[in-house]
Amino acid sequence: MEALFAIMIGTLTAGGVYLLLRARTFPVIVGLTLVSYAVNLFLFSMGRLQTGVPAVIGQGESYADPLPQALVLTAIVIGFAMTAFALALALRSLGEEGTDHVDGKDAEEGT
Amino acid sequence: MNHLPVLPVLLPMFAGAWLAMTTGGGRGSHRLLSLMATLLQIPLAAALIYRAGGGISVYALGNWPPPFGIVLVVDRLAALMLLTTAVLAVAALLYALRGDDEEGKSFHTLFQFQLMGINGAFLTGDLFNLFVCFEILLIASYGLLLHGSDRLRTRAGLSYVVLNITGSALFLIALGIFYGGAGTINMADLAVRIAGVPPPDAPLFGAAGALLWTAFGLKAAAFPLHFWLPRAYAAAAAPAAALFAVMTKVGIYAILRVDTLIFNRGAGVLAMFAHDWLWAAALITITLGAVGALAARNIGALVAYLVLSSVGVLLAAVVLGSREALVAGLYYLIHSTWISGALFLLAGVIARARGPAVAGLLIPGPPLGRPWFLSGLFFAGAVAVAGMPPFSGFLGKALLLAAAGDGPPALGLYTAVLGGGLLILIALSRAGSTLFWRQTETAAPGGTPDPVRLGAAVLLLAAAPILVIGAGPILAYLDGAAGQLLSPAVYIAEVLPHLTAPSGGSP
């Protein structure tokens, strides 16, 4: 499971960074979303990966660490709000500039 | 338990929430509430400074004992940063009350939330809470940056937002590594664990430290993560830009806190982590800021590059890390926050008086109303920020250079600070002579400058002589602050009283 999880995070990060470096605002925002997914999964795994154990001490043989779950909840909420804001800003930039290039310049010199 | 330490966070939170909910109260009551809440920050911060003179006080939120709960820690440095922010905020708000707050929605709400985030970042003793405070201040700053929006602001805003979200992702990864490796994100507890980390695990924490420096360096706008700053600050409205003058200092504060508490001389393998890199970044930032100031074509951009240069000076002081260097750095920090805030406000007044056609562009424009007063203020601000006697910039830089000693670091620092100072002086004299002496024959469309706006700038500019006249007691206080920073064991013992041996690494 650990290997699968690690490959997952790596793939998400690689895809996210690739998209972040694009010159169009929409791929950049999708890239931000992928990176924040990767970060959230990474944070979550810091409590060690376990399945089927409660996050409460004394309820079973072993227990999952509840703190990363709390951290990741906070991070998800914040990341979601930030992404929504960036998306709204990108739409406004598209409306004002007439182009979705990240520098607001015309699109001729590449995508 | 005394609840004073949490008030600088709660007050703007409730004021901001109230302002957000009451839309029908009329602008007069909104302005009054916002002004009262901001003014109250000053006595609060003063009370905390008074209290911090007696030692470090710890406030456990919800009474959860550290390291399990979140703690607020008030030491001399945190209290000082609160006061610096409060004074700057009052001046920026006074300026905004003369009409800038009407150019867009929810100025006062965002302003209060920004203060909440900044104050929280200075007070917190928990790394994850620091992240949350960063996000609060950032999302409020996005709104303030776009306030009264035009095209330039939207464009500058987009890159600012994307960069900061990416920076937050790096911060979170660093937090994850710290928690996964050390099992704690309380700063004091983390300091204890890092000091006892076995050498095989050190690279992991080194990677986390490098990510932290990247995230904080982005907030502070240190080279090579500085590209967003001039564009964003130059595009922002004057009061927003003035308040942003303290945001880069939040990044510097975070670096200073983590460096002295966690990666200090006692941190074993990770002691003085990445100091060589930070030193180079500091010197390059000083130079780049000065060169950028020379190239700026707009007075807002010019002041933004001055902020950049001051970030380099502060970072250099943090890396030098001796008691004298920290005192000089903190003194320079107060100076540069207030004076750059004053210059942003002054730039706003000048741009307004020159009318929308030329605004802040450094080209000949119409003659200004009250030219002597305006140019006098600009001259005083320029002298202070360029580090010329008799004002506070000179004293701060002189103290820092004296603290550098006479080894190899001094060579680089002298060159960067003095050379940068010369370039800044040239840039400011050129800007000043263009603004005030080279004039077209048209009438000034802006009329005489608004007295309240000017008053807000004067309030901050007054810091330049006051910081020099009161240098004795201020430096004595700062010496105590630096002493606290350099004895992290005291901080750790206050936060975690149950640890009898702070240097031990046992969990």
Interface pTM, i.e. ipTM? 0.91
Residue type present at position B8: P
Per-residue model confidence (pLDDT) at position B364: 83
Q: Between these two residues, B66 and B110, which has the higher pLDDT value?
A: B110
Report chain A residues whose CB lies below 8 A from the CB of B177.
Answer: 46
CA distance B23 to chain A (A): 22
Cβ within 8 Å, pair B169-A74:
no
What pLDDT is attached to residue B505?
42
Per-residue pLDDT tens digits for B361-370: 888 888 777 7
Q: Give the residue-averaged pLDDT of A88-105.
A: 81
**pLDDT score, position B25:** 57
pLDDT of A104 higher than 70 = no
Query: Would you call B165 and A82 a contact, using CB atoms and an 8 Å cutoff?
Result: yes
Using a pLDDT cut of 90, give the percent of chain A over it.
41
pLDDT of residue B302: 93
Name which of B495, B295, B481, B317 is nearest B409 in CA terms.
B317
- How many C-beta atoms lie closer than 10 Å to residue B180's C-beta? 18
Contact A32 B162 (CB under 8 A): yes
The reply to whether A35 touches chain B by the CB within 8 Å rule is yes
pLDDT for position A111:
43
Minimum CA–CA partner of B136 in chain A: A78
Residue B127 DSSP one-character state:
H
Q: What is the pLDDT of residue B99?
A: 79
- The distance of Cα B387 from the centroid of its chain, to the nearest Å, equals 18
Q: Are B61 and B71 in contact (CB under 8 A)?
A: yes
Alpha helical stretches, state H, B183-201: 187-195
- Picking from B95, B406, B137, B389, the residue whose alpha carbon sits closest to that of residue B247 is B137
Q: What is the pLDDT of residues B340-354, one digit of tens each?
A: 999 999 998 888 888
Residue B230: how many other CB atoms lie within 10 Å:
26
Q: Model confidence over B70-81: pLDDT tens digits?
A: 999 999 999 999
The mean per-residue pLDDT over the stretch B486-501 comes to 82
B159 to chain A: nearest residue by CA? Answer: A102
Given 3-state DSSP classes, what are the helix, strand and coil percentages for chain B, each rounded to the nearest 5? 75, 5, 20
CA-based nearest distance A35→chain B, Å = 7
Low-confidence winner among B120-134, B168-182, B245-259, B439-453 (lowest mean pLDDT): B439-453
Q: Is B222 exposed, middle or buried (0-12, 13-18, 19+ CB in 10 A)?
A: buried
Q: Is residue B206 packed enough to be buried (19+ CB in 10 Å), middle (13-18) or exposed (0-12)? A: middle
Q: Do A97 and B151 touch (CB under 8 A)?
A: yes
Average pLDDT of B181-190?
89
Cα B122 to Cα A71, B69, B142, B259, distances in angstroms: 20, 17, 20, 15
Identify whether the C-beta of residue B485 lies closer than 8 Å to the C-beta of residue B318.
no
The predicted pLDDT at position B26 comes to 66
CB distance B168–A32 less than 8 Å?
A: no
Cα(B274)–Cα(B276) distance, rounded to whole angstroms?
A: 6
Distance (Å, whole) CA B42 – CA B127: 26
Q: How confident is the model at residue B502 (pLDDT cuts 50, 70, 90)?
A: very low
**Residues B111, B97 contacting (CB under 8 angstroms):** no
Q: Is the alpha carbon torsion for B264, B270, B271, B276 positive or negative? A: negative
pLDDT greater at residue A109 or residue B68: B68
Would you state the pLDDT for residue B146?
86
What is the rounded distance in angstroms from the CA atom of residue A93 to the CA atom of residue B5?
41
Please state, rounded to an integer, the average pLDDT across all residues of chain B: 88
Across the interface, whether the CB atoms of B154 and A82 are under 8 A apart is answered no
For residues B184-199, average pLDDT = 88
DSSP assignment, residue B345?
Answer: H
Asked if pLDDT for residue B104 goes beyond 80, the answer is no
Top-confidence residue, A111 or B426 = B426
CB atoms near residue A106 (< 10 Å): 10
The burial class, CB within 10 Å (0-12 / 13-18 / 19+), for A56 is exposed
Tell if the CB–CB gap between B175 and A90 is shorter than 8 Å: no
d(C-alpha B36, C-alpha B42), whole Å: 10
Q: Has residue B94 got a pLDDT over 80?
A: yes
Residues of B with CB under 8 A from a CB of A: 128, 132, 135, 138-139, 142, 146, 151, 154-155, 157-159, 161-162, 165-166, 168-169, 172-173, 175-177, 179-180
Q: Quick check: A83 contacting B, CB < 8 Å?
A: yes
Contact call for B172 and A43, based on CB within 8 A: yes
- Tell me whether residues B132 and A20 touch, CB distance under 8 A: no
DSSP string, B406-417: TSHHHHHHHHHH
Alpha-carbon gap: A94 to the closest alpha carbon of chain B (Å):
10
Two tokens at B392?
């506070």
- Residues in A closer than 8 angstroms to B173, CB to CB, are 39, 42
Is the model's pLDDT at B198 over the cut of 90?
A: no
pLDDT at B66: 81
Quickly count: other Cβ atoms within 10 Å of residue B422's Cβ. Answer: 13
Mean pLDDT, rounded, for B87-92: 94
Distance of CA B187 to the CA centre of its chain: 21
CB-CB neighbors (< 8 A) of B179 in chain A: 43, 46, 67-68, 71
The pLDDT-based confidence of A55 (bands split at 50, 70, 90) is: confident
Q: What's the rounded Cα separation, in Å, for the pair B254 and B251?
A: 5
**Between chains, do A71 and B175 touch, taking CB under 8 Å as contact?**
yes
Q: What percent of chain B has a predicted confidence (pLDDT) above 90?
A: 52
What is the model's pTM? 0.92
Confidence of residue B500 (pLDDT cuts 50, 70, 90): low
Token readout for B315 is 């970072």
Q: What is the mean pLDDT of residues B284-310?
A: 92
pLDDT for the residue B341: 94
Please tell me the predicted confidence (pLDDT) of residue A110. Answer: 45
Nearest to B173 among A39, A71, A102 (CB): A39
Domains detected in chain A? 2-50+63-97 (1.10.287)
| Contact assignment for A74 to B132 by CB distance below 8 Å | yes
B47 against B367, higher pLDDT? B47
pLDDT per residue as tens digits for the range B372-395: 888 899 999 999 998 888 898 899
Whether A64 contacts A57, CB under 8 Å = no
A110 by DSSP, 3-state: which? coil
Most B CBs within 10 A among A9, A13, A39, A77, hence the mutation to make, goes to A39
Q: For chain B, what percent of residues have pLDDT higher than 70?
A: 96
Size of interface A-B (CB pairs under 8 A): 85
**Mean pLDDT confidence for B392-418:** 89
CB atoms within 10 A of CB B43: 10
Closest by alpha carbon to B119, among B94, B89, B143, B142? B89
* Residues of chain B with C-beta less than 8 angstroms from the C-beta of A71: 128, 175, 179
CA angle B78–A68–B167, rounded 5-degree value? 55
Q: Hey, how many other C-beta atoms are within 10 angstroms of the C-beta on B88?
A: 27
**Position B414 confidence tier, pLDDT thresholds 50, 70, 90:** very high
pLDDT at B102 over 90: no
Task: State the best of A92, A94, A99 to mutate against chain B, taking most chain B CBs within 10 Å.
Answer: A92
